Amino acid sequence: MSNRREFIQGVVGTTASVAVSGMVSSRRVLGANDRIRIGLIGAGARGKYDFKEAIKCPNVEPVAVADVYTRHLEEVQAIVPGIKIFQDFRRLLDDKSIDAVIIVTPQHQHALSFVPAIQAGKDVYQEKTMAFNPEHARRMRRAFEGSDRVVQIGMQMQSGPGYAKVRELATPERVGTVTLIETHHFRNSPYGGWIRNVVPSDCDAQHIDWELFEGEARHYPFDPDRYLNWRFYFDYSGGNMFENMVHQIGFWYQLLDLKVPETVSMMGGNYMSPKMHMPDVMAVSFKLPNRMIMTWSSTFSNDFYGEQQGCLFGTKGTIMHTQSNKVYYIAQGRASGEGSSDKPIENPEYVDNTDIHMQNWFDCIRSRKQPNCPFEVGYRTALACQMAVASYRRGVPVHWDPDTEDIV
């Protein structure tokens, strides 16, 4: 079992020592066809999904997995017999044969894994939301800058065909001046579909490294519900703002090179999910320095708009992007869309582009080019999401102070 104080001091101490000594260089130079050896940090449901997509890619070798819960390690061993297993992710990072790591931990742990991974010379696939709070974001940026590491943020819509189509259409000639973007995430599923009511028999302090799970979060005695349903606690999660809003605003952030919002206001309520600290109905407004407003609304009790829908409104036209990667362009004064002359209402089934996103990361590890969703996009969108959470919890609009790089 790890020691909580030693863990926190170890992460901070490592950061300080690297600032003095410089980043660890890459262990080996990869050619265009070289095999990439990977490790997984965080082997919950999404972690295993990402890992499976990764090892489907050609010339990728799974080497090791780290997770605080022994059950998750056993589940990955069933997928990849003989894989090395660790409860402490730092032991995985000690393996110099590993070229790259996929980090899919709970959100409060992202920086705690990312910074040492960069310092160990690993390329990183970092699941969203990239950073849990502004201090973590600053810590991650200090580690990343000058490291020459290839970092892909897990906002996979940027690798889908819908993104390329919207980029093609979103020109001044077609859309004119854009002042408003509306995004939605509607899901008719209590608790967002995340609730875990059954506690496995081995979900206990003997099989879970509770101190390593807590990291820098506020300490509580071991609680299986806090572990299994971490998404429901602000100590570990930013709720649906960190789960799904980040995807949708990140899509437009990258497309239009949007900056950290000047002001964010969020209202919401928890009307049907009493076991969750977060709201299950919510609306967020972002005032952006680009003379633009962006909004996001979400509910867990209706699926009209579907999982991922966004609309860009310009003086010359409108672009709609749906969860199935369908893209519709509607010029001012007339309507024209894919296969229809009317504005679409229904949203076909959600399409996940993780396989394409993962392959892009591996391609960039070999070429050392910038991936489809680079660090800077993850950084800005993480801050925007953090501002939304801060506004909701404080009950007032919040602002970004560029001098202190903090939320006020």
Using CA atoms, how far residue 61 sits from 51, 52, 358, in Å, is: 11, 11, 14
In one letter, which amino acid is 276?
M
pTM, full prediction: 0.91
Strands (E), 270-380: 281-288, 292-299, 309-314, 317-321, 327-331
Q: Would you call 65 helix, strand, or coil by DSSP?
A: strand
For CA atoms 143, 147, 114, 4, give the dihedral sign: negative
Q: Give CA–CA dist 381/347, Å, rounded.
A: 25
Contact 110, 132 (CB under 8 A): yes
Q: Give CA–CA dist 183/249, Å, rounded.
A: 8
Q: Give CA–CA dist 295/176, Å, rounded.
A: 20
Instruction: Classify residue 4 by burial, with Cβ atoms within 10 Å: 0-12, 13-18, 19+.
Output: middle
Q: Would you call 151 helix, strand, or coil by DSSP?
A: strand
Cα–Cα–Cα angle for 330, 333, 338, rounded to 5 degrees: 25
- Scan for tokens 């003379």, then name that residue: 291
- Scan for tokens 């967002």, then name that residue: 192
Contact 351, 323 (CB under 8 A): yes
Strand 398-401 vs strand 263-269: parallel, antiparallel, or unpaired?
antiparallel
Fold of the 4-149 domain = Rossmann fold (3.40.50)
**Res 264: pLDDT:** 98
Contact 172, 319 (CB under 8 A): no
- Scan for tokens 């570990």, then name that residue: 236
Contact 282, 297 (CB under 8 A): yes
Tens digits of pLDDT across the chain (408 residues): 455 555 555 554 444 444 333 444 445 667 667 999 999 999 999 999 999 999 999 999 999 999 999 999 999 999 999 999 999 999 999 999 999 999 999 999 999 999 999 999 999 999 999 999 999 999 999 999 999 999 999 999 999 999 999 999 999 999 999 999 999 999 999 999 999 999 999 999 999 999 999 999 999 999 999 999 999 999 999 999 999 999 999 999 999 999 999 999 999 999 999 999 999 999 999 999 989 999 999 999 999 988 888 999 999 999 999 988 889 999 987 655 543 444 554 556 778 899 999 999 999 999 999 999 999 999 999 999 999 999 999 999 999 999 999 999
Q: Give CA–CA dist 313/34, Å, rounded.
A: 45
Strands (E), 198-316: 263-269, 281-288, 292-299, 309-314
Contact 376, 338 (CB under 8 A): no
> What 8-state DSSP symbol labels residue 7?
H
> What are the structure tokens assigned to 267, written together?
């209202």
CB atoms within 10 A of CB 339: 7
**Res 30: pLDDT:** 72
Contact 312, 269 (CB under 8 A): no
H/E stretch holding 380 = helix 375-394
Fold of the 158-193+236-349+385-407 domain = Dihydrodipicolinate Reductase; domain 2 (3.30.360)
> What are the structure tokens assigned to 170, written together?
């979103």
Q: Give CA–CA dist 159/371, Å, rounded.
A: 9
Strand 60-66 vs strand 36-41: parallel, antiparallel, or unpaired?
parallel
Helix-helix angle 110-119:134-144, to 10 degrees: 10
> Domain locations in the chain?
4-149, 158-193+236-349+385-407
The yes-or-no answer to whether 4-149 and 158-193+236-349+385-407 have a common fold is no
Helices then strands, counting H and E runs in the chain, come out as: 14, 15
